Structure 1
Amino acid sequence: MAERLIPGDDAPAFTLQDATGKSVSLSDFRGRKTIVYFYPAASTPGCTKEACDFRDTLGSLQAAGYEVIGVSPDPVSALAKFASEEQLTFPLLSDEDHAVADAYGAWGEKKNYGRSYLGLIRSTVVVDPDGKVSLAQYNVRATGHVAKLRRDLKLDA
C-alpha cells in the first residue's frame, strides 16, 4: 500500500481507459487544475450520489478552472453503463488492477462489520496546473463531499 499524498507531492502519472475505451492520461490535463476522485464501485448508491453531485456542479467547477476525473476499479463496460444511466459528462476511468489508486494512496485496508479487507478508499486529490498535489482528502463521505470540497477550494462565498 502506497503512502498517502500530501500537498506539494508530484501527482503520479497515469494513463487509463475511459468509459468509451479511449486512453486518458493525467498529462492530458497539464496546465489545468484537476480533481481526481476515487470511488469504490459504479452504480452503487453512495458512488452514484457522489458522481451526480460532481455532474451537477461540473459547470461551476469548470468555470472556476477545475476539471473532474472519476477513477474506480470497475471495468470499462460498467463505467459506460454508469455514465449513460447517470448522464455523467466527465471522464470515468477504469483502474481494474488498482495500480493508480495504490499510487495515490487510495487503496488500502478497510473495515466493515468488524472484518478487515483491502479495497478502494473513497478519496479526492486535486492536482495543480504544474502536476503537483494541492489538496488530498481520504476517507471522504459520498454524501456532501462535493459541497465540502467546494468550500475547501474556496469556491463558495
Structure 2
Amino acid sequence: MPDTPATAPDFTLPASGGGEVTLSALRGAPVVLFFYPRDDTSGCTKEAVAFTGLKDAFEAAGVKVFGISKDSLASHDKFAAKHDLDVGLLSDEGSDVCERFDVWKEKKMYGKTFWGIERSTFLIDAEGRIAREWRKVKVPGHAEEVLEAAKTL
C-alpha cells in the first residue's frame, strides 16, 4: 500500500495588503507555499518576481500561491510595492509555521552559525495534503518547475 501524503499543517497568518490567510480555508484548490529567508534580498527577490511572473499561469491551473517569511507585514508591503509583486506574502514573525513545516534550520555563512529559513516550497493538493516538496531550493527555473508539478494535480 503506498504511503498517503501527509496533511499540511494548518495555520492562519496575516497577509500583505491586509487580512489573513488560513490554509484549511483554501481546501478545494491546490496551494503553493514558498518559504524564503528575507524580503528584498537578491535570491528572495528573484524567487518572488518569478512566482509573480507566473501568477496568471498558476491561476489558470486553479492554484493559489503564497510566500512566507518571518518579515513583518510592513516589510512585506514595502517589498511587494518595490518589486511590483502580485503574490500574497504571509508574515510568520514568531516562526511557528516555519517550524511546523520544518524549514527553520541552523545555517552557516561566512563561518557564522545562525537560525534562518531554508528556502523551501510545498505544493499542497485540494484536499490539504502535501503533494510535493522542494528543499534547499535553487531559484533559477524553480517557479517554472513548481508550475509544471501543479498542473499535474
Pair 1:95–1:138, CA change in 2 (3 A): same
Whether 1:145 and 2:142 are equivalent positions in the alignment is yes
| Structure 1 runs of 4+ with >2 Å offset | 113-116, 147-151
Amino acid at match of 2:25: D
**Aligned pairs, number:** 150
Structure 1 alignment gaps of length 5 or more: 1-5
Q: Residue in 2 aligned with 1:48?
A: 45
Pair 1:7–1:123, CA change in 2 (3 A): farther
Deviation per residue, 1:102-135 (Å, 9 max, x gap): 1001111112123322110000011110110000
Q: Residue in 1 aligned with 2:88?
A: 91
Structure 2 alignment gaps of length 5 or more: none
Q: Residue in 2 aligned with 1:21?
A: 18
Whether 1:124 and 2:121 are equivalent positions in the alignment is yes
Q: Is the 8 Å Cα contact of residues 7 and 136 (structure 1) preserved in structure 2?
A: no
In 1, Cα distance between equivalents of 2:144 and 2:86: 19
Deviation per residue, 1:40-77 (Å, 9 max, x gap): 11111111100000000111111112110110000010
In 1, Cα distance between equivalents of 2:150 and 2:133: 15
Whether 1:31 and 2:28 are equivalent positions in the alignment is yes
In 1, Cα distance between equivalents of 2:59 and 2:82: 22
CA RMSD, 1 decimal: 1.9
What's the TM-score, normalizing by structure 2? 0.90
